Amino acid sequence: MSLASYVHANVDTVKPVRVALIGCGGRGSYLAGVFQSQPGVSLTWVCDVDTARLQRGKKLARGTVQASNDIRKVLADKTLDACIVATPDHWHAPAAILACEAGKHVYVEKPCSHNVREGRLLVESARRNKRVVQHGTQVRSTPMMIEAVGLLEKGIIGDVKVSKAWNIQRRGNIGKGKPGTPPATLDYDNWVGPAEFIPYQANRTHSGWHWWYHFG
């Protein structure tokens, strides 16, 4: 069962599906709009360890919203139904597991985990707590991919010996940086969170984190 079907199944209930956004960067901002476009969904919490982004996140809500830079405070809200996890990659599985353990359903962006072990722990947590966890591998939902899988299942394609994929997106150069002091708005210790701690460097955090094994 996907979060979308969960939402539509609850449209006629007395209260809306109350959702928290964990991570108010570019992807989180987009998903906030997508979720709120669904009938019966209300964005009631936003969370980010950078208070500057947190303030921007508050403006994404179409109704009354609470904000915190601490995911634990968000998940303690008993009225919350589900979480959108749109953090840097290294926080995906830990945040999703915390949400499941708190009794929340989860939409977690890709990759669902930073390594195989974390992914297995997330599956175990979702099953143990009987939570819906949807992994945001959007391409798998495209008509082209669904058709290809259908052809494979019917035996039309035959045995697959080799599969090739490529990505032609080009990211800008993040440049060379040096360790420094985090901006006053950023709780860097919590930003690193479950990853191995390394000193703050401007091109390792927002957007630049994709290029660092610790985080991307």
**CATH number of the domain that 98 lies in?**
3.40.50.720
Q: Identify whether 97 is part of a domain.
A: yes
Per-residue model confidence (pLDDT) at position 163: 85
Q: Identify whether 214 is part of a domain.
A: no
Residue 181, CB half-sphere, CA atoms under 13 Å: how many?
Answer: 3
Per-residue model confidence (pLDDT) at position 4: 60
Triad 193, 199, 202: Cα angle to 5° = 95
- Cα→Cα distances 33→36, 59, 121, 139, 207, Å: 5, 11, 29, 19, 20
Please state whether beta strands 82-85 and 133-136 pair in parallel, antiparallel, or not at all (unpaired): unpaired
Per-residue model confidence (pLDDT) at position 216: 87
The count of domains in the chain is: 1
Tell me which residue range forms the domain holding 69.
3-139
pTM: 0.84
Q: Identify whether 198 is part of a domain.
A: no
CA dist., res. 208 & res. 161, Å (int): 36
CA dist., res. 204 & res. 6, Å (int): 36
Q: Which two tokens stand for residue 20?
A: 């928290």
Helix (H, G, I), strand (E, B) or coil at 157: coil
Q: What is the mean pLDDT of each run of 10 residues along the chain (216 residues)?
A: 57 78 96 95 98 96 95 98 97 98 98 93 98 90 90 91 84 86 97 95 90 89
